[in-house]
Structure 1
Amino acid sequence: MRVLQIGCGNFGPAHLAGWARLGLADSLTVADPRPDLAETLARHVPGARAVADWRAALADADLVDVLTPTDTHHAIAAAVLDAGKPLFLEKPAAPTADEARDLLRRAEAAAVPVQVGMYLRFHPKGAALKALVEEGAVGRLLHLSARFLGIKRMRADSGPLANDAVHFIDLILWLVGDVPSRVFATLRDDEARGHDDLAAVQMRFASGATALVEAGYRLPGATPDPFVPGTFSTKELVVTGTEGVVRFSLGEERLTLRRGRHRRAGAILVPDYAEPEDIAAPAADPPEVMARQFDHLLRVLRGEAAPVATLRDAGVAVARVLDAAREASRTGAVVALA
């Protein structure tokens, strides 16, 4: 399996390590014009080949992994799909839903699988959270509240909506099994960069469930961030249902369930919840989660697994929510999604 990785920025080494854990380092070609690329590969995957232009290596690839800046995704992914190559595409799949739809059309025309890099779906605790919800451990979903916070660098190509909040927006859509019917959001660009530096997104679903996702670059976090050395962050999702509450903390590597509900006591409702129980699920560092994502795509290609985090649900659906959040923030109005 000859893999072409296009892009090797800040998260590039985690991708390199993921391929290496699957034994594919020696069949890996990495395309990036950065001058220190060869040195980076020598440090992380000595058997990999470095090239400056991905176009020269595309024809020889069996699978392509794209992790370039989001505003380049559509052009690169379109060329990859038109060449008939299976694709791993980092989140968000495209800057807009229209571009994501175009990539979906091209993928369907080429009949090749595309997997979007939705990290939390493949984290062992994210997968365990999905299983808890599906088995009814918290009952009917009422509210999902997520925070992705930290005092950290502001990227030049995007803000926390598309870079950070997108993870929990995807996870929430995956858990609820639907796209929200209504979206409202506040996005702030206090540095006038052309990208948000604070995002607060509210969602309401046809089932009645609601959700709130908060992300920002000036909000202090609680635990060391495994992706950005020297930064403290908070990355957590609390899922509240009619029969309990479950909390997933990525920073603490913890998944905690409290079964119970409020019960009537005369004129008031009082909480009647069991003690919190830690749900067993392995810890996983970024290279391990990347390896899990890549391994799943390889099993899809071999016909051994059904696709997960597809362009339809993790690409177009998520991009629709991001588009709606931007429109809601611009207009100050709730945006309805058909």
Structure 2
Amino acid sequence: MLRLLSGLLALAALMPQCEAEDADSVALKYRSYRTWSLKLPTETWFPVKEGIRLAHAEGDLFAFEFSGTSLKVDTDGDGELDRTIKALVDPKTMVSTTRVILSGKDSSGNAFRYAARLRNDADGWEWAPGGAMVGSIPTTAGPVPVKLIDQDGNGKFNDVGSDAMIVGNTDHAMMLSTTMFVDGKLLQLEVADDGAACSLSPYNGPTSEIDMSTSFNSKAVLLSSVILSSDRKHSFDIGAIDGPVRVPAGKYSVVSGVVGLGQHRVKIKAGKMKPLNLLADRSKSFDWGGPVSSEFQFARVGNQIQFSPNAIWYFGKAGEQYTGWHPIGKSPEFKVVDAETQVVLEVAILPGSC
């Protein structure tokens, strides 16, 4: 099975790097994304209501006012609606989307910028973070990009187990962790309160080895597999790494994952999976993927049995759940069988995607 290998970001040289004499400290700088491509493990959209609540020197609110697909925004938090934004409307979904850059000063008087993505769907206007603190970690093989994302939307970038981070040349994020795997080394990570820097040092605690790629049975490519320890201190995206990876010992659960075949993507959730108990100085190979089983709901309407792709749930060998998936090829067939004679009365195959 093919595996995606992490490389070095071509623009890494443009990112802030730590000084050679201070190799354990990495400077971070805020970057907003005009086009959002980052995949967050537990992405949440927050209701806008009267505005976006982020602490700043003038208060804790950047006010909004809505009129159809137009928005008036207090972009600097001074209480005045100083900008009008016209959202784009998707003609197929009728969902309105736009973005805005908020700015202000924090409690220490330091200036900051904060990008927010906005959408208006059946749930009303919602927002999600649209930027990240970015930098690069120097290694013997060259700089490795790192991004910290305010996944929980509170304006901070150091909430371990709640925020998200990306290490390497990938768009798939893991949960923000106190440890990270860089250049074959397990490192301790600490992020400054203002998110403007992080420090790295060797991790000296008990460790275990986990292999989630070798025994993943699928024709698709495992693009991401994010695990999180039960104390929420350690998180790793190890799905696209070939062979075993050394992580801090402890109990872990799968938070999210992605498999891909061509342009199609299928998400992975924990589903019925049991926690992974990774014992110190032990190695564990995780057996998951196919064969895939399904559960579904149906309704009897007269002499018909009706069911929908939206009411079918797919589970892998270890109990992991696959969502956003309509299988192609040989799986699955849904057979209606006479309970007494076992004669197959009908066979249905739903349109597939992956």
Same fold (TM over 0.5): no
Larger % of helix: which? 1
Larger % of strand: which? 2
TM norm structure 1: 0.24
With CA pairs under 8 Å and 6+ residues apart, which has the higher RCO, 1 or 2?
A: 1
TM norm structure 2: 0.23
